[in-house]
Structure 1
Amino acid sequence: MPHGSPTSGVGRVVAGRYVLLNRPGSGGMGHVWLAHDRRLECEVALKELVLRETEDEPERTARVARARAEARHAAGLRGHPHVVTVHDVLEHDGLPWIVMEYLPGAVDLRDLVERDGPQPPAECARVGLAVLDALTAGHERGVLHRDVKPANILLAPDRTGAPYARVLLTDYGISVQPDTGTAGLRGKLADVRSLAVVPTGKGWEAARGRVVCLVLGAHGPVYGPLDEHRKEGTAFADTATMQKRDCLRVPSARDALLVPSSGAHDQEVLGFTRLGAGVTLARARTESDAACARDVPPRLYGFDPSGYQAASWTSEGMWKTGAHFVVCTVRRQNGGTMEGVGP
């Protein structure tokens, strides 16, 4: 039998208890087996760590440590509805094996999309929210997954038999924990959740099939400069990329630059409003300030009306798509900077 064949090892008994039946999958860390638990008379999934002959001793030691860490981290999330349950970790022939729940009829998201194509927006939102819920549970325990990808997201039937009803995150093989050499990481982990806004009817056509996804942290939306993702000083080419609570430096009436809220800034984004379908872009640029003062008044955000007033930003992109959204901001009435002020 060639080494690595899906049937190589079938019938082998692991730890005197688990009989290997077949090998439905493999990954970077090893093989996943369907096995029969002779003690409990049920089927389980076993993850086998496979070491490569080219690995030196330090590499082998690191991979064994990673496998043990995966079992420990995933076991800490046992019972979460969106994490594959780990029942046990055992040693066999000097290597760790992970005993997990068996998910008959499961398919990973990568294979599903390759087979059926892009999924409907509502389904994408459902899967995304489930995965974020699993990640949040891990973050609350100080565990960072670090390998979230379609191949590690499983869709499985529920007890009623509804296909793909269960969404489960798996493979904590490269996860980390602050107490294992990443001091201070836990304090940087946000309680991240998402909000997906899916247009309906004519709005879906106007948005050209796009879904708005907001990433929410422990205190609201993620905003401001974020390393390489949103560089400090970046000029906004389109208002669609502005986030609530972003702070702006405004060198001219048509230019807005992203700056940290801790420093001097000219405006702060408070929210958004939408103008009527018949309003042209030229007209919007003269009426948007008044619309924001009416729909997103700064006083509701703690800004004293005697010193602050509503301002706004419009962009051509919002009119090309038919969305007609306006970004509403606040600024000082005298035009001064807003460093260290506000609610």
Structure 2
Amino acid sequence: MDRRNPSSPPPPYRRIVAEIRRRIERGELAEGDRVPSTRRITREWGVAMATATKVLTTLRQEGLVRAVPGVGTVVTAGGIRADDAPAPRTRAIGDPGSSPRHTPAAPGRPSPQAPGLSRARIIRTGIRIADAEGLRALSMRRVAAEFGVSSMALYRHVANKDELVKLMADATFAEIELPDPAPRHWRARMEAGARLQWKLYQRHPWVAQYLSLTRPQPMPHAMVVIEWTMATVTRFDPLTKLRLALTLINHVRGTAVALEEDLEAEQRTGMDAEQWMESLGPEYERILRSGSFPMYEGINDMDGEGMLRLDAMFEFGMARLLDGYEVFIEGRKDDPAH
């Protein structure tokens, strides 16, 4: 039973459900078209992931949409009113792969009006999909659906999904604008380089999960950023400089991996990080009452000063790492061998 005051506004998820329903009824979202993903909903309406998840759940319960593996959540056949006239296809509002001049056809319905494909356009579309829905949602079929063509049409431009993801990741590094003038001191330069990468991973969380230190992919734009970051460290041989660079990169990337993991966990559980911690509060209290964990007991608020927030952990870890670098780099000035 709904106990809300009749005069109070509907909850946010209900307003969003109503708006997407109107788009379906007006024909802006036709049968087979993708509706906005949870990530797209959070960006377009400024709501939490839990609210976005509730929106799609409600739409599925009302029979308006269904989940299609490898494609996303699409409008069902019953989601279109019989009395709606078949208006000319317009772009699906909220569709990250559409543009005002081109409307992607529904999956399996190639459009004769699809513009010519190019490697650059395929890469940009792949990035938009990965940003909005995560790397797991990316497939050649999924990208092809954005252009209204078959998957085979993509293979004239990229060899396979592995090559596409590599090109996508390198393209994101090409977005980085290196400061000019650049910091001249080695520590300031390293801090700047690390923060540029951190901001990149915040824009494209999937990139951190894709990168590997043990099996690196040849990505020229990423290599440019690393070279720039290390340009003012001149006292060491190239291998030592590379190891210093990779150690710093591993801190940034290792922390950033949690960005994508947290988004996936929020979508899976319907709870953001704070709600998750609140739900586990009683269990943590029970454990701490044992008296066996004095360090944890000494923390009054587990996240009161942002100690569990990723930005705070990134900054703290980078500062401590560079403190160690300072001993290593500056301390060697007095070493006659160097």
Q: TM-score range by the shorter chain?
A: under 0.3
User: Of Structure 1 and Structure 2, which has the larger fraction of its residues in strand?
Assistant: 1
Q: When the two structures are superposed, what TM-score results if normalisation uses the length of structure 2?
A: 0.25
Which structure is higher in RCO with an 8 Å CA cutoff and minimum separation 6?
Answer: 2
Q: When the two structures are superposed, what TM-score results if normalisation uses the length of structure 1?
A: 0.24
**Larger-gyration structure (1/2):** 1
